Amino acid sequence: MDPVQPSVGWGVLHLFYRVDRDRAERDPEAGKRVTDAVQSLVDDGHQALLFAVLGHKAELGVMALGPDLARLQAFQHELTGTPLTLVDSYVSLTELSEYTSTEDDERARLATEEQLEGPAAEARLAAPRVRMAHYQAQRIHPHRTRPQTICFYPMSKRRATAANWYSLPFAERKRLMGGHARVGRTYAGRVLQLITGSTGLDDWEWGVTLLADDPVALKEIVYEMRFDPVSAEYADFGPFVTGLLLEPAEAVRRVGL
C-alpha cells in the first residue's frame, strides 16, 4: 500500500478494545500476534503504547502514532484478526497550536516589558529560541516515554452558546490560551501532555492524551484547568478513558490474551 503521509505532523490512532473470551480461549497464540503486530509497527518507524483500561469502557487501549496513515490502518486491520473487538476509536494528527508563542512574540515582550532591543534582545532570545524549537518538535513528532498511567479524552471549543470561542478576536483567544498554557506548564515533570488535532477528522476538535506516573497528577491538572476561562467558559469535554501503561506483553496478559 502506498504511504499516506500528512504534510505536517503524524497520524494518531487511539483504539479501545474488549476481549472476545470465546475466541481467546480457542486462540492461545492471540497475545503473541498482538505483540508481534506492535513490534512490526515500531520496526517500521512508528510508536505504540498499550494500556489496560480501568473501568467498563474497554479492556485494552492502544495509542499508535507515526508518519504514515496507511501503515497505521494496516496495523489496526492486523488487530482485527485477533480476539479483540473494537469498541471505540479516535483519529487525529499531531499539530502546532496556532496560539503557540513565537520568536516575534518574545521579541515584542522584551521590547515592551524590559525595553530591550537590537543585539541585547537577540542575545536574550537565544534560550527561548532553543526552548521553542524543542517544544515544536515534540508537538509535531512526539516521542513518548512510558509512565505508569494514561488518560485520554476528546474536547471541542464551544460555538453554539453565548460563549462562542470562534467569535472572539484572535488576539483575545491567544491571550486566553497563553494563560491556559501557563497552568499546564506548572505540571512539567509530573504530566506529559499531547494535544492532537481532529477537526474534520473525528467528532471532536482535539484529542488530549495525558501521561503520568501518579494518577493524582492526572486528576489535579484537569481539575485546575477547569477553573481557567478557556475551559470554564469555552470548552466541552467528551468521555475520559484511563488506564495502566504497560509493556505490550504484560498488557495483553493483563487483559487475558
Catalytic residues: 153
What one-letter code names the amino acid at 5? Q
The residue whose grid cell reads 469555552 is 234
* 240, three cell numbers: 475520559
Give the other-Cβ count within 10 Å of 2's Cβ: 6
Beta bridge partners of 80: none
Please, what is the Cα angle at 93 between 78 and 59, to 5 degrees?
45
What is the three-class DSSP state of 148?
coil
Tell me if 156 sits within 8 A of 235, measured CB to CB.
yes
Give the other-Cβ count within 10 Å of 124's Cβ: 15
Entry field: residues in the chain: 257
Question: What is the Cα–Cα distance from 16 to 209, expressed in whole angstroms?
Answer: 14
* 11, three cell numbers: 497520524
What is the three-class DSSP state of 175?
helix
Helical H segments across 141-237, by residue range:
170-185, 215-225, 229-232
Question: What is the Cα–Cα distance from 22 to 153, expressed in whole angstroms?
Answer: 30
Please, what is the Cα angle at 42 between 22 and 215, to 5 degrees?
70
